[in-house]
Chain A
Amino acid sequence: MTTHQAPPVADRAGAVEPAAARPPRLPALLRAGLRRLVGALAVLFGAATLAFAALQLIPGDPVATLLGPATTTPPEVREAIRHDLGYDQPVVVQYLHYLGGLLRADLGQSYQLQRPVSDLIAEQLGPTAQLALTAVLLALLIAVLSAVATAGRRPALKALTAAWELVAVSTPSYWLGLVLLTVFSFQLRLFPVAGADGVAALVLPAVTLALPLAGTLAQVLREGLEAALGQPFAVTARARGLSRAGVVLRHALRHAAVPLMTLTGWLTGSLLGGTVLVESVFGRPGVGSLVLAAVNSRDVPVVIGVVLLSALVFVVISTAVDLLAGVLDPRLGNR
């Protein structure tokens, strides 16, 4: 995970020269790639192991958990289920068996739903990704507009935007979702209440998720912009006759973009892990409700499948963020 700070060093006015942009020699690139791959595998292995261990630590009989509190299931059937799921074997054997499956790219079968985990995730990931990406883009748009319009402006204006950002950040998404539904779906009937079909059904949940994110991102971005505007290069640029907007858009934004991007990447990753409350309020399918049900019924293969998915998403996103950061700020490539 990268946590780049906005570069505090002075910059020359104008475009940054690609001083460090000499093509690296191939072996170095390979080594870096290999290092990343090994790191990614270690993260995935660690995530699977931790999830497996956490599920073992939940008290109570796993078969009883799976069946629920009130069933007339005779002991023979319970034992048959226990045997089928391998719960009658030592934990170490269960663990190795599970790892073996993972190595063969087999995520196993859901205990509860009796379907392959890979199918379930594939089916639920689409709606989640659609919602998460729409929400993040929307949040970025709002944040950039808000921050660019207000950075370095009069204190009164800044206070006002800081106030909306604070409100947005601290609004519970469950509540926001209900309010939006009540106004725009139940009263004005502009959008449908539920579902994952079509753009109309995406609007309210995406806005619900995007507003708090936008608040956070706008705060970070404005701080970055103001730090950049205080730099000597900004003053120089102004002295050269560039307009304020020109300085912000052409220079300061690029400086402030790296921390914004890192944060956005992290937020996207956590959204792709599922957004249980929003899924539940809007009656949308998604990874969040899948994994919540799985945790509650101790459906081990599904839980580990989703944990692996989240780990993978984070690895991919943090790699992408690193690469992008290198493009935006070539000085980072030297490290």
Chain B
Amino acid sequence: MPKSSSKKERPIEELTYEEALAELEEIVATLEEGQGQLEEAIRLFERGQALAARCGDLLEAAELKVRQVAGEELTDFEEEAE
């Protein structure tokens, strides 16, 4: 059931918010099932803490990114100052 243990774990700082959140949700679900080995559970807990911290950082740092579509290209969009 705990997929996280079998799949390769990526470094947390590489994860997007959605990826980190999805993994965190999975870990919480696994821990809430209460199965598995204690050592594995502790390891999952630590990974979960790190994922939650990553999500929090990303939320705090979130800044709307606006790009303009020009043909197939994407260019940065400069907003007019109000």
- Are A and B interaction partners? no
Please give the residue numbers on chain A whose beta carbons come within 8 Å of chain B beta carbons, in ascending order.
none
Please give the residue numbers on chain B whose beta carbons come within 8 Å of chain A beta carbons, in ascending order.
none
